[in-house]
Chains A and B, each alone.
Chain A
Amino acid sequence: MSETALKKVTEYTPEEVEKVSNWINTEDYKEKNFAREALVINPAHACQPLGAQMVATSFEGSLPFVHGSQGCASYFRSTFSRHYREPAAATCDAMTEDGAVFGGQNNLFEGLENAYTLYKPKMMPVYTTCMPEVIGDDLTAFIKNAKQKGHIPEDLPVPYANTPSFNGTHIHGYDAMLKSILAYLTKGQKIEGKCTGKLNLIPGFDGNVGNIREYKRILDLFEIPYTVLADSSDVFDSGCDGHYELYSGGTKLEDAAESINGKATISMQKFSSVTTMKWIDENFSGVNEVMPMPFGVAKTDAFILKLSELFDKPVPEALKKERALAVDAMTDAHQYLHGKKFAVYGDPDYVIGIISFLLEMGARPWHVVISRGTKKVKKEIEAVLETSMYGEGCTVHVNKDLWHMRSLLMTDPVEGMIGDTHGKFAARDAKIPLFRIGFPIIDRVNLHRNPVVGYQGAITMLTMIANKFLDIKDETCEDQWFEMMR
């Protein structure tokens, strides 16, 4: 652009606008869109430290501590508060320009001391933003020094995880932080031959507190003693009684310490617990299992059978009845979902679960998008699709974002979309409903409280989806097709 002549402010003509509006819905545009190599548009994933914070906050009396830039810390807190409509305490050592030059040790010292004095936590898990990761801060040494110099007591648990955002996503931050906290708390706690008889249950990165409560309810029905490792349910869902508790809920530190002597450990999410489960395999006494998230009947069956097998207990009558009720609901309402095509996106473990449920209903998960993932993720999802004739013709797109998704929706339409709030723009353009299952949900209330796992979760999803389709029919059909029954 030349420096001298001033350009005139211009408006596009309606024709120009219409031309491009149409073009972005075409095959030609889709091809160009899918040829993108550098630009990411509307990703459906977040950064590592967000996942780390989810774990760090889910232990009793635990205050998450962000080592790095204050802006990131504010973003994480806001994100959780918007999703859960709950407080999300976390503190930060607020590194600035001089920290970039000299490293963040002094910030960490001061930050730990202030946070400890003001908020009296029982534990302060530390995790990092991009900045200290780029400059290479040595957290092992920093934390040791902080204790030696008396900034915090020697015996205060300060586990830490490196969570570089340029490597992996929020689910990897979750994994790294969980492993670090467990390694810290269980150190020296293993007693040969001792078994607490308890199950350790790892929910994984799950923004639905109802899911975690549903796991607990199922375990209670079985009368299996358990510890949920990183239990966010009461942390991110506390009552309003006129009194704010900074630390509400969370896994008890003693229970976490004892988890190493448990009878069994089950992870409910494979991809967000890879390193944690590997470490547990090497260190815990009990049996370890990774289960798919129990979305739909078959995957819930698998979970229930696994519990029955591991703890040698019969399936409780109440659960048998629940299963029958779920199947009853699904057979009654199958016609509203059968053959319907869906677009599904989100974290791999969630997506696999949602797909299984859809296939059970005879619905077709037509476009599946994982915005950051490996070949392994892709293969695993494809394997699920291959289990059913309704998976035929469905495609899995890994490392594609929600702008790619938009092209898919416009060139090869589907009837509904399932994922977190971020898909609402694509859904609107495609004029299809978005069923909000995932994280974050920042535009609807209470969805994070209703479980979508287990037999009850299947009924919840079915109700939400089928009734929405019926609403649409009632709202949009011509008068002569408007009728009493549906």
Chain B
Amino acid sequence: MAERKPIEGITKERTEKLIEETLACMPEKAQKKRAPHLGPNDPSSSVCAVKSNRKVVPGVMSQRGCAYAGAKGVVWGPIRDMVHVSHGPVGCGVYSWGTRRNLMQGINGVTSFALDFTSDFQERDIVYGGDAKLEKLLDEANELFPLAKGFSVLSECPVGLIGDDINAVTKKKEAEYDKLVVPCNCEGFRGVSQSLGHHISNDSIRDHIIGRYEFAEEAGPYDVALIGDYNIGGDVWAAKPILEEIGLNVKSVWTGDGEVEKIAATHTVKLNLIHCYRSMNYMCKVMEEKWGIPWLEYNFFGPTKIEESLRAIGELFDDTIKANVEKVIAKYKPIMQAVLDEYKPRLEGKTAMLFVGGLRHRHTVGAYEDLGIEITGSGYEFAHQDDYDRTQPEMAKDTIIYDDVSEFELEKFVEEFKPDLIGSGIKEKYVFQKSGIPFRQMHSWDYSGPYHGYEGFEVFARDIDMAINSPTWKLVKSPF
């Protein structure tokens, strides 16, 4: 890929000086810990120098969540036909109930379960253990939700501290119900971020789900699975039709609007297509090793990346699919051009800074660039080295990279680079809006969406234009 052209005014010296000045405000120990996580981008190197996936520095106001959040919120919550039990005290389950926007079909409480199931631990459960309660509550759930295809038990902090054995309970109940009952030891104190929760959940799928079901119909040459699309704001519903349009047969989705039996039968597909690498690469690798299923990373943000991805997917199939790919690209080209004609003139030359989870920066850069917006700073909440290595080439030279950025640091960086837009999360949103800087939530699509696929780009373009060019920003400066 050709290196991006440098962004005017962004130099190594400027970025380094900014980092230095920011670090200087911290106590020495914190400076030492934070320094490796910040740096100017170097697209020519294959290994990103910025370090990641380390412990949060206490007290700096990191934006990270916990392993439970990565498990419940990201991996399990979107599986629509299972009852997901937040096992422990009441809080974690309440805060993560309905707050990720992983939309699902079905009848709530009958065939899909966008509810908050919890054991709501009390003092006695901490003292005497919660296993007996867990058994009982699973029985109750099994009676009240007979069409649930399975149950997941997601441990919160206390469970791992009091010596409970949820695995023994789930094993027993699985035998009893003849349904999947899956343990996930994702206590929030494990690991350094949501990321370990993804990993632990992938392991639970490996150990308890995959390979236990098969599709009723015969396997076909075009069978694929969609991995790591969580249907935020309906993303899956915009992505899946494109794959079907090029002739592929999407047998299961992990896990947006997902169905657990289909997930369990995914070992029979021909190819895994992975969108969120960070949260699901583990299972792709498992399926590759165990069943020889190849996997391909793809990116459905913005027409440029969609076209690249479709062609890369086509390469793995026969001429029929390849021809379909070209047909689909040709069909959407004028539609996308109309979108660009409408919005690009108003957005060309603007800059944006991003800070989200573990994937979306490198994936959305292309969509912003399609609109003529340049990215001057970027970083992840819980990415690993391999994510940063994949990000470097997507960013211009000497733009600033910040891993697990604290509120203090991000404010400093924004103050210096003065972007026209910030794309990040709910905790950052109002801080920057108060400063008069347009902002879009990039975890939840700010209650909009979908952003994936052709359909999604139309919405994305409209939203970004609306954010940057809303007349409300003109009112911020008072005349008196």
Mark each residue of chain A from 286 to 319: 1 if its CB lies under 8 Å from any CB of chain B, else 0. 0000000000000000000000000000000000
Interchain nearest-CB distance for B423 vs A (Å):
16
How near does chain A come to B193, taking the closest CB pair, in angstroms? 8
Contact yes or no, B435 A244, CB < 8 A: yes
CB-based contact A46/B147 at 8 Å: no
CB distance from B114 to the nearest CB of A (A): 8
Give 28 CB contacts A-B under 8 Å: A8-B215, A9-B265, A24-B144, A38-B133, A40-B119, A40-B120, A42-B97, A47-B90, A50-B91, A71-B64, A72-B66, A74-B69, A77-B427, A87-B431, A91-B60, A94-B57, A97-B189, A112-B59, A114-B60, A115-B61, A118-B60, A118-B406, A241-B476, A242-B477, A243-B434, A244-B434, A422-B94, A425-B114
> Chain A nearest CB: distance from B198 CB in Å?
13
Q: How far apart sit A61 and B23, CA to CA, in the bound complex (Å)?
A: 23
| CB nearest to A47 among chain B residues | B91
Interface segment among A164-172, A195-203, A341-349, A453-461: the answer is A164-172
Is A113's beta carbon under 8 Å from chain B? yes
Interface string of A37-54 (1 = CB under 8 A from B): 111111101110110000
Task: Please determine whether B189 and A17 come into contact, CB atoms closer than 8 angstroms.
Answer: no
> What 0/1 readout, one digit per residue, does chain B (247-270) give for beta carbons within 8 Å of chain A?
000000000000101101100000
Whether B65 contacts A70 by the Cβ 8 Å rule is yes
In the complex, besides A46-B94, A92-B61, A118-B61, 9 extra interface pairs with C-beta distance below 8 angstroms are A6-B211, A6-B265, A41-B116, A86-B430, A117-B26, A166-B89, A241-B476, A242-B436, A243-B435
> Is A88 located at the chain interface by the 8 A CB criterion?
yes
Interface presence of A481 (CB below 8 A)? no
Query: Of B262, B408, B476, which one neighbours A9 at CB under 8 angstroms?
Result: B262
Q: Is A95 an interface residue (CB 8 A)?
A: yes
Look across to chain A and name the residue whose beta carbon is closest to the beta carbon of B436.
Answer: A242
Given the complex, which residues of B lie within 8 Å of A38, measured CB to CB? 119, 133-134, 136-137, 140
Q: How far does the alpha carbon of A159 sit from the alpha carbon of B80 in the complex, in Å? A: 44
Closest Cβ–Cβ distance, residue A107 to chain B (whole Å): 5
Judging by beta carbons under 8 Å apart, are B92 and A74 in contact?
Answer: no
Within 89-112 of B, Cβ neighbours of A (below 8 Å) are at: 89-97, 99, 107-111
Chain A contacts to B: CB under 8 angstroms: 1, 6-10, 12, 16-17, 20-21, 24, 29, 32-33, 36-43, 45-47, 49-50, 65, 68-72, 74-79, 81-82, 85-97, 99-100, 107-108, 110-119, 129-131, 134-135, 164-167, 169, 238, 240-245, 372, 403, 406, 422, 425, 429, 442
Cβ A93 vs Cβ B59 within 8 A: yes
Contact B430 A39 (CB under 8 A): no
Cα of A165 to Cα of B89 in the assembled complex, Å: 6
Question: With A40-B119, A134-B158 given, is the CB distance from A32 to B143 under 8 Å?
Answer: yes
Is B238 positioned at the interface, with any CB of A under 8 Å from its CB?
Answer: no
Q: Mark B185-212, 1 if CB is under 8 A from A, else 0.
A: 0001111101000000000000000011
Chain A residues with CB under 8 Å of B478's CB are 241
Bound complex: CA A16 to CA B117 (Å):
23
Q: Could you tell me the distance in whole angstroms from the C-beta of B210 to the nearest C-beta in chain A?
A: 11
- Whether, in the assembled complex, B156 has its beta carbon less than 8 Å from a beta carbon of chain A, the answer is yes
Q: A41-B117, A94-B55, A166-B89 are in contact. Are A33 and B144 (CB under 8 A)?
A: yes
Chain A residues contacting B194 (CB-CB under 8 Å) are 71
Query: Nearest-CB distance from A56 to chain B (Å)?
Result: 14
- B251 — nearest CB in chain A belongs to which residue? A9
B281 interface residue (CB < 8 Å to A): no
In B316-366, which residues have CB < 8 Å from any A CB? none
B413 within 8 A of A: no
B110 touches A69 (CB 8 A): no
B162 A118 Cβ-Cβ under 8 A: no
**How far is the CB of B130 from the nearest CB of chain A, in Å?**
9
Nearest Cβ on chain B to A132's Cβ, whole angstroms: 10
CA distance A45 to B118 in the complex (A): 12
How far is B118's CA from A114's CA once the two chains are assembled, in angstroms? Answer: 35
Please determine whether B216 and A72 come into contact, CB atoms closer than 8 angstroms: no
In chain B, positions 223-267 with a C-beta closer than 8 Å to chain A are 259, 261-262, 264-265
Residue of A nearest to B427 (CB): A77
A74 touches B427 (CB 8 A): yes
Complex alpha-carbon distance, A7 and B93, angstroms: 31
| A29 smallest CB distance to B (angstroms) | 8
| B contact residues around A91 at 8 Å (CB) | 59-61
Given A17-B110, A118-B26, A40 and B59 touching (CB < 8 A)?
no
Digit string of B51-62 for contact with A (CB within 8 Å is 1, else 0)?
Answer: 000011111111
Report B328 CB to chain A, min CB distance, Å: 28
Contact yes or no, A39 B261, CB < 8 A: no
Contact A39 B89 (CB under 8 A): no
Q: Which chain A residues border B261 with CB–CB below 8 Å?
A: 7, 9-10
Chain A residues with CB below 8 A from B94, complex form: 43, 45-47, 422
How far, in angstroms, from A405 to B121 measured CA to CA in the complex? 21
Whether, in the assembled complex, B466 has its beta carbon less than 8 Å from a beta carbon of chain A, the answer is: no
Q: What string of 1s and 0s marks CB contacts (under 8 Å) between B7-31 and chain A?
A: 0000000000000000001110110
- Beta-carbon contact of B63 and A74 below 8 Å: yes
Contact A240 B433 (CB under 8 A): yes
Task: Report which of A78, A93, A116 forms a contact with B426, defined as CB distance below 8 A.
Answer: A78
Binding site for A on B (CB under 8 A): 25-27, 29-30, 55-69, 85, 88-97, 99, 107-111, 114-123, 125-126, 133-134, 136-137, 140-141, 143-144, 146-147, 156-158, 160-162, 174-175, 178-180, 188-192, 194, 211-216, 259, 261-262, 264-265, 406-408, 411, 425-427, 429-436, 476-478
Measured CB to CB, the closest approach of chain B to A410, in angstroms, equals 11
A38 vs chain B, min Cβ distance (A): 4
CB distance from B86 to the nearest CB of A (A): 9
Q: Could you say which residues of chain B place their CB within 8 Å of the CB of A21?
A: 107, 110
Contact A166 B123 (CB under 8 A): yes
Contact of B158 among A40, A130, A422 (CB under 8 A): A130
Q: Given the interface contacts A113-B59, A130-B157, does A39 sit within 8 Å of B91 by beta carbon?
A: no
Chain A: CB-nearest residue to B433: A240
Across-interface contacts of A245 in B (CB, < 8 A):
434
Smallest Cβ-Cβ distance to A131: which chain B residue = B157
* Bound Cα distance from A272 to B140, whole angstroms: 32
Q: Which residues of A contact B158 (CB under 8 A)?
A: 130-131, 134, 166
Return the contact of B188 from the options A43, A72, A115, A243 (Cβ within 8 A): A72
CA distance A47 to B91 in the complex (A): 5
Knowing A72-B188, A100-B189, A115-B60, say if A8 contacts B90 (CB, 8 Å).
no
Q: Residues of B contacting A422 with CB < 8 Å?
A: 94, 97
User: How far in angstroms is the closest Cβ of chain A from B96?
Assistant: 7
Knowing A12-B111, A43-B116, A118-B406 are in contact, say whether A134-B126 is a contact too (CB < 8 A): yes
- Nearest Cβ in chain B — how far from A62, in angstroms? 14
Residues on A with beta carbons closer than 8 Å to the beta carbon of B114: 425
Q: How far is the CB of B172 from chain A (nearest CB, A)?
A: 12
A76 to B174 alpha-carbon distance, docked (Å) = 34
Instruction: Specify which of B141, B178, B259 is in contact with A39 (CB 8 Å cutoff).
Output: B141
Chain A: CB-nearest residue to B93: A43
Q: A93 contacts B156, CB within 8 Å?
A: no
A409 to chain B, nearest CB (A): 13
A166 to B123, CA, bound (A): 5
Provide the residues of chain A in CB contact with B216, threshold 8 Å. Answer: 8-10
Interchain residue pairs A-B with the least CB separation, the first 4: A71-B66, A47-B91, A111-B59, A111-B58
Complex CA gap A116/B89 in Å reads 30
CB neighbours (8 Å) of B212 from chain A are 1, 6-7
Q: Contacting A37 at CB < 8 Å: which of B118, B140, B427?
A: B140
B95 touches A79 (CB 8 A): yes
A144: min CB distance to chain B, Å:
18
B411 partner residues in chain A, CB cutoff 8 A: 244
Contacts of B109 in A (CB 8 A): 24, 403, 406, 429
- Which of B30, B88, B259, B426 contacts A81, CB < 8 Å? B426
